[in-house]
Amino acid sequence: MRMSSKAPLAALLLLSGLASGAGAVTVYDESVSGDLSNSGLTPTVVAIGAGSNQFFGTTGKTGTTIDRDYFTITLAPGMSLTAITLLPGSSVSGTFSFIGVQSGTQVTVSPTGSTAAGLLGWYHYGENDIGENILPDMGVAANGSTGFTPPLPSGSYAFWVQDTGTGPVPYGFDFAIAAVPEPGSIALMLAGLAAVGVVARRRRSG
């Protein structure tokens, strides 16, 4: 019996604790839990965990009022934010909508200001981004934002979502949270991969 060439990858995922059968979890849905905060200084606190964390909301403009959504998450020690995927059903009013992120538990940047100074990053997303990971795009420094290289490490982050076109404009995001292997786990993982390689070689030569 020949060992599959995919075995080392399977061992890697298993030993690093990233192979999980858990499905997506809806951590916030405005249609169920109510409107997300409209103030960056008091964003809605949303609990997240390892795996897929989905957010659903509605932004847009009614009359002269823009419905801005602000929420904050905290990544526990040993966890990181590896991806933000725009989900099917998201739309924009016009060409694009906006998502920004700031380190900490508040968004202190003025929504009517002319600079993104204070933000870690931001991105103008459109319907062409559905199904795509937009976290790397958010990390590109622009208009004063700091910029970052994904993944985002443990700590608190505040997010800001808005569309200034006539609403309602629905959106959905999937935040992928992964465990960061400890040094001891990495050593164990490498030892496991080495063992898998030895077994595979023996079976091929046998």
Model pLDDT for residues 21-42, shown as the tens digit of each residue? 358 999 999 999 999 999 999 9
Domain boundaries, the chain: 1-17+181-206, 22-180
Q: What is the pLDDT of residues 89-103, one digit of tens each?
A: 999 998 999 999 999
Name the residue type at position 132.
E
Q: Is the pLDDT of residue 191 over 80?
A: no
Model pLDDT, residue 181: 74
How many Cα atoms within 13 Å fall on the side-chain side of residue 189? 18
Does residue 43 contact residue 70 with C-beta atoms inside 8 Å? yes
Tell me, yes or no, if the pTM score tops 0.85: no
**Token pair in block for residue 90:** 């998201």
